[in-house]
Structure 1
Amino acid sequence: MTADTPARVLALGDSYTIGTGVDEDERWVTKLAERLREEGETVADPVVIAENGWTTDDLDEAIDRRNPEGPFDLVTLLIGANNCFQGESPGTFEPKFRALLDRALGFAEDPDSVVVLTVPDYTLTPVGQANDPEAHAQRLERYNETIREAASTTGTRLVDVVPPSKRVAETESLVAGDDLHPAPDQHDLWLERIYPVAAAALD
């Protein structure tokens, strides 16, 4: 990447990446590109492969359909919430996640260019509270253990968005109008954690 060549960003995920419940310019992916530009980076509009309700299988199939052409200067991966919500066991989730992380690595220049995000804690939202939150929270914790371990063993970068997602318990405005997804203010909290890691990956 040179000063005249915009950095290419690929964002892989589900509703938390596509920004379900908020406008496109309010989601963290869009704000990340804007923030990088404000700080002097030349960044192309991110290529986003994500959709509300997607599981790891859905994302894998969508990557096949879209067939993005690498290499990308930055690749983000945030997936697993819908697997967890649908009750998939952590043991079943693990190989699926690792396979997607391998695909993400294949689109990147090197492992340092890949940013893996933990799955936010949706159990504290109104929808989460109405759907056996204790069982979901236990399963989600094991999912995130898998994600953290996979990031560590592959040498990719990790951003933990679980702490800001838990703040919905005392701040209702962090939840979008659908009572489940992050509101713009929560996307901002995530960005505070994602931006420095992404900037370092592009440095």
Structure 2
Amino acid sequence: MRLKTIVLTLIVGLAFLGCNSCTDSPTPAESSDPEIQTPADPQNFKLIALGDSYTIGQSVCESCRFPAQLKDSLQERFTVLDTFNLEIIAQTGWTTSNLKNAISTAEPPTDFDLATLLIGVNNQYQNKPFELYETEFVELVTTAISLIGGDASKLIVVSIPDYAYTPFGQGSNALNISTQLELYNSFAQTYCTDNNLKYVYITDITQEGLNNPALVASDNLHPSALAYTKFVERILPLALDILE
């Protein structure tokens, strides 16, 4: 009876040791989950916005203009460690010629990750020859592409708002304004299509300005912060495709 107890004890002990070796915790290498990825390094994105009063955000706050809203919307979709720097070369009243000269004077770097271009309304307003816009718009597109390292896929051209649908525009020849701006936008859109460039049409948003006064800034001429928010809703998907 005593011998049987000893043998049974030895068998149980050996079985326990065997199970113990089976349940030892795996080494860190063995327990690594292939689904777990090392966090990516923080990214610093550089944005540049080229244009006129519609880019500088005449009559709205600095954070309300569309390039700033675009920057903020992008930041929300990336990690808190990623940073976005925005440079704006724009001024109220600038024509294509003014913008060309300003870029040349500023000599911005050529390593931006994304560029927007919105220009032309003052060519129309100041009765500049349409042929000047045709020539200088193309030159500005080429310049903008050079600022994003020569990668044309990183450029977003934005259509010209239609100020005929504002109280200020109604005091002029509104029909003539719309007709002329349609010519400008048609040229830009066709050029972008022919050259495989990104083009965002926002003009129809501003053409709701009389029906929805909230889309017009307090100066009764320029887009409001709400209008710029609607611009960004259309620009953002393209910007995300570029940066992601």
- Normalising by structure 2, what TM-score? 0.79
5+ residue gaps, structure 2: 1-39
- Tell me what 1:178 maps to: 219
Give the one of 27, 47, 63 matched to 1:25.
63
User: How many angstroms does 1:40 deviate by?
Assistant: 0.7
- Tell me what 2:142 maps to: 102
- Tell me what 2:115 maps to: 75
- RMSD over equivalenced CA pairs, Å: 1.3
SS at match of 2:124: helix
Pairing 1:115-154 to 2, within 5 Å after superposition: 115-154=156-195
CA contact (8 A) 1:89 1:139 kept: no
User: Aligned equivalents of 1:130 and 1:23: distance in 2?
Assistant: 26
Pairing 1:39-118 to 2, within 5 Å after superposition: 39-40=77-78, 42-109=82-149, 110-118=151-159
User: How many angstroms does 1:141 deviate by?
Assistant: 0.6
Paired letter, 1:10? I
User: Aligned equivalents of 1:123 and 1:180: distance in 2?
Assistant: 9
SS at match of 1:23: coil
- Tell me what 1:37 maps to: 75
User: How many angstroms does 1:163 deviate by?
Assistant: 1.4
SS at match of 1:105: helix
User: How many angstroms does 1:122 deviate by?
Assistant: 0.9
CA deviations 1:14-61 (Å, max 9, x no partner) are 011111010001111111111111101634221100011111011011
Paired letter, 1:31? Q
5+ residue gaps, structure 1: none
User: How many angstroms does 1:162 deviate by?
Assistant: 0.8
User: Aligned equivalents of 1:121 and 1:108: distance in 2?
Assistant: 28
- Normalising by structure 1, what TM-score? 0.95
User: How many angstroms does 1:169 deviate by?
Assistant: 2.1
Of the two structures, which has the highest relative contact order with CA contacts closer than 8 Å and spacing of 6 or more? 1
CA contact (8 A) 2:162 2:177 kept: no
User: How many angstroms does 1:85 deviate by?
Assistant: 1.1
Identical counterparts, % of pairs: 33
CA deviations 1:81-140 (Å, max 9, x no partner) are 111111223333111111111101111141110000010111111111112111121111
User: Aligned equivalents of 2:160 and 2:201: distance in 1?
Assistant: 8
User: How many angstroms does 1:202 deviate by?
Assistant: 1.4
